[in-house]
Amino acid sequence: MIGKIMKGIAGFYYVGVAESGVYECKAKGIFRKDKIKPLVGDDVEIEVLNEEEKLGNIVKILPRRSELIRPAVANIDQALVIFAAREPKPNLSLLDRFLVIMEKQDVPVIICFNKQDLCDEEEVGRLKEIYEACGYPVVLASAKQGEGIEEIKSLLRGKTTTVAGPSGVGKSSLTNLLQNEVQMETGEISKKLGRGRHTTRHSQIIQIEEDTWLYDTPGFTSFYVEEIEKEELRFYFREFFKYEGTCRFQGCTHTHEPGCMVKNALEEGKISKERYENYLELYGELKEKRRY
């Protein structure tokens, strides 16, 4: 039988098979031997062990058209990353790290700032301005007031999208408004720590419309950028593209070199200070990591 992994929990995979239902499966030992882990979204071949109890084994993973490590999902068209505009305060460094990884893996990203009802227009407008200037679609939303839902639906329609973002930003609340089938558990912000409690503990696929699928994934509080050399980091900041090859020195890293057109654009207000500072921070981390 051929099906799709709809959910994965503690080594069990729930595989949806058209016209047959959902089978609880384990992965064959050969996957561990080959260091291959089935991912939510994988199309797989299963052997049925017990039809009545819907039990089986995954025996083969079919070719993937895309694959992400974090969140760990396969066969997506795009990512919807959700941050709160306030409560918790948006960590733009964390957002930019996520965007770098998506750029490296050539995954289109939609950015959503939830809880816009807690901000004034200038504050939330600045967030929108920063990332729209880089070429990202940005949606300002409020799960509490139901704002931005139709705009998000239009951007998701006809695609398979993974949802990502920190805990406590309203991912589950927005997901509940986007569909009616599965009601996700929602949590509150920890006042002491200033961050959200984890409510989504595993990844699963939710059908929004006939040809529209959403992967709900656990929240993250950190994001490590690996397998990127510091010299290539500049290629994953979209606003730098137009200046590539125009600096005084070939291979300019846009950090310390004289005659850098990116730094000139920064001084002229054409590149956001926030994004550039996050670039320098990440560049420094990659440089330090290389020393070891």
Q: Are residues 74 and 209 in the same domain?
A: yes
Would the pTM count as exceeding 0.75? yes
93 is in an annotated binding site: no
Single residue among 27, 49, 64 that ends a domain in this structure: 64
Q: Are residues 257 and 174 in the same domain?
A: no
What are the two backbone dihedrals, phi and then psi, of residue 287, each rounded to the nearest 5 degrees?
A: -65, -45
166 is in an annotated binding site: yes
On whether residue 176 sits in a domain, the answer given is: yes
41 is in an annotated binding site: no
Q: Are residues 206 and 81 in the same domain?
A: yes
Q: Are residues 156 and 56 in the same domain?
A: no
Task: Tell me the residue ranges of DSSP E strands in the chain.
Answer: 2-9, 12-17, 21-27, 43-50, 55-61, 67-68, 73-74, 78-84, 109-114, 138-140, 160-164, 189-190, 195-196, 204-209, 212-216
Single residue among 64, 80, 112 that ends a domain in this structure: 64
Question: Shortest CA distance to 176 belongs to which of 201, 159, 202, 200?
Answer: 200
163 is in an annotated binding site: no
Alpha carbon distance 259, 269 (integer Å): 17
Q: What is the mean pLDDT of the chain?
A: 89
137 is in an annotated binding site: no
171 is in an annotated binding site: yes
> Which spans in 88-199 are helix H?
92-104, 121-132, 149-156, 171-178
Burial class (CB in 10 A: 0-12, 13-18, 19+), 13: buried
Q: Which residue range is the domain that position 163 belongs to?
A: 68-216
173 is in an annotated binding site: yes
142 is in an annotated binding site: no
Predicted pLDDT at 38? 94
CATH number at residue 245: 1.10.40.50
Interval 101-151: pLDDT, tens:
999 999 999 999 999 999 999 999 999 999 999 999 999 999 999 999 999
116 is in an annotated binding site: yes
112 is in an annotated binding site: no
Q: Assign residue 274 a region (left: φ > 0; alpha: ψ between -120 and 50; beta: otherwise).
A: alpha
The partner residues of 160 in beta bridges, in order of sequence, read 213
On whether residue 221 sits in a domain, the answer given is: no
On whether residue 114 sits in a domain, the answer given is: yes
Confidence grade of residue 158 (pLDDT, cut at 50, 70, 90): very high
State the sign of the Cα–Cα–Cα–Cα dihedral 90, 92, 94, 99. positive
On whether residue 223 sits in a domain, the answer given is: no
Q: Are residues 119 and 94 in the same domain?
A: yes
CATH number at residue 43: 2.40.50.140
260 is in an annotated binding site: yes
Q: Are residues 94 and 111 in the same domain?
A: yes
Looking at the 3D structure of the chain, how many domains does it have? 3
Interval 198-240: pLDDT, tens:
444 578 999 888 899 999 988 777 767 878 999 999 999 999 9
Q: Are residues 128 and 174 in the same domain?
A: yes
Q: In 10 A of CB 110, how many CB atoms?
A: 20
Predicted pLDDT at 196? 42
Q: Are residues 58 and 85 in the same domain?
A: no
On whether residue 142 sits in a domain, the answer given is: yes
Residue by residue, DSSP assigns 256-283 as: S-TT-HHHHHHHTTSS-HHHHHHHHHHH
